[in-house]
Structure 1
Amino acid sequence: MTDDTHDTPLLQEPRLWQDEHWTAKVIKNEDDDGWAVAMYKQGESEPALVGPWTMGRDKKNPKPLDGTAFITLVKTASEFVRRSEQQLHAQLNQSVTVNGKDSRVTVFLRIVPDEDNPYAVLSAQDDSGDTLAEFKVDAGFKLNRQSAQAWVDAEFAKPGSGRR
């Protein structure tokens, strides 16, 4: 029985291993005489992760890649990408819960990192998830407990509108 799940054959060379999601490439370390391994996610031109690679027995050439090393590299690179995505999500999406007149109010700030015109969306929801207010604000808007409480206390006046 043949395996027809791959459109292209997987590479398994001493300095290059590839599966349908990742490519591991052993490269010369630019900082010293050693070697590094770069992990590329399928479709990406920049490596997701670059780390040191072990010298071979001759102390000149790199140790060849193998299945066990590749599996470990994929796990490490995948975890690194996942943590980076979580960190970026946390930087771009913030929330603070404060006291409203009648109930708790959660204030959200979602930053949209547009290259030409970054902005943020400031919104408020009540305990049942209903939107109470929403405004486009400057991407540099600082959301903290104090700014959220001030906005709720101002009855969701457009930030920067001067209404108090």
Structure 2
Amino acid sequence: MNNDNFDAPNLPLVHTARLWQNEQWTAQVIKNEDDDGWAVAMFKEGESEPALVGPWTMGRDKKNPKPLDGAAFITLVKTASEFVRRSEQQWHAQLNQSVTVNGPDGRVTVLLRIVPDEDNPYAMLSAQDESGDVLAAVKVAAAFKLNRQTAQAWVDAEWAKP
């Protein structure tokens, strides 16, 4: 079975005292600009900014950083991956909201999906009945605030653009 994404034969695997890299992550020990200590920056493959930066332990000489090793790298990858996953979940939650209110024929779920376009951000406001059928949809400003009151007002106004 050929799995090029997993094997990544063209990417070198680096394991030095201050730099470890696998196919998806790079851990780099850097000088902490805020004090005399050290930090470790975790870069996800293809990203120019670190996904996570945290303190790093001093070595025995109390001047140089402790060398990276396999166990530390695995822990750093898990921590950085979890941080990225949580950030993505939070971003998704900010862009996709829903509220359920009373409609004329039962419960209505009002959804707001924000489209974060750099030049012209907007949002789509839609309503679904209890079986998931779309009752209405309208384009609104990206700054539209969805809550129970605004959702109920839209339903009560029979889908007139808010």
* Seq. identity, %: 83
Give 1:118's aligned amino acid: P
Of 126, 129, 137, the residue aligned with 1:126 is: 129
**Partner of residue 102, structure 1:** 105
C-alpha distance in 1 between matches for 2:52 and 2:12: 24
Listed as ranges, the matches of 1:34-53 within 5 Å are 34-53=37-56
The residue type equivalent to 2:130 in the other structure is D
The two structures, once aligned, show a CA RMSD in angstroms of: 1.0
Aligned residue identity for 2:28: K
Q: CA deviation at 1:97?
A: 0.3
Q: State whether structure 2 residue 154 is matched by structure 1 residue 151.
A: yes
Task: Quote how far apart the aligned CAs of 1:115 are.
Answer: 1.1
Separation in structure 1 between the aligned mates of residue 121 and residue 22 of structure 2, nearest angstrom: 36
Structure 2 residue matching 1:44: 3-state secondary structure: coil
Partner of 1:15: 18
- Gap runs ≥5 in structure 2: none
Deviation at 1:8, TM superposition (A): 2.6
Provide the aligned length of Structure 1 versus Structure 2: 156
CA deviation string 1:84-111 (max 9, x = no partner): 0000111111000001001110000011
1:88-139 residue CA offsets vs partner (Å, 9 max, x unmatched)? 1111110000010011100000111111111111000111111111111011
What is the rounded CA distance, in whole Å, between the counterparts of 1:78 and 1:87 in structure 2?
14
- Runs of 4+ aligned structure 1 residues displaced above 3 Å come to none
Give the Cα–Cα distance (whole angstroms) in 1 for the partners of residues 45 and 12 of structure 2: 14
- The equivalent residue for 1:76 is 79
2:114 to 111, 114, 118: 111
Hey, what's the Cα distance between the residues in 2 that align with 1:8 and 1:113? 33
CA distances 1:20-51 after superposition (whole Å, capped 9, x unpaired)? 00000000001111000000000000000000
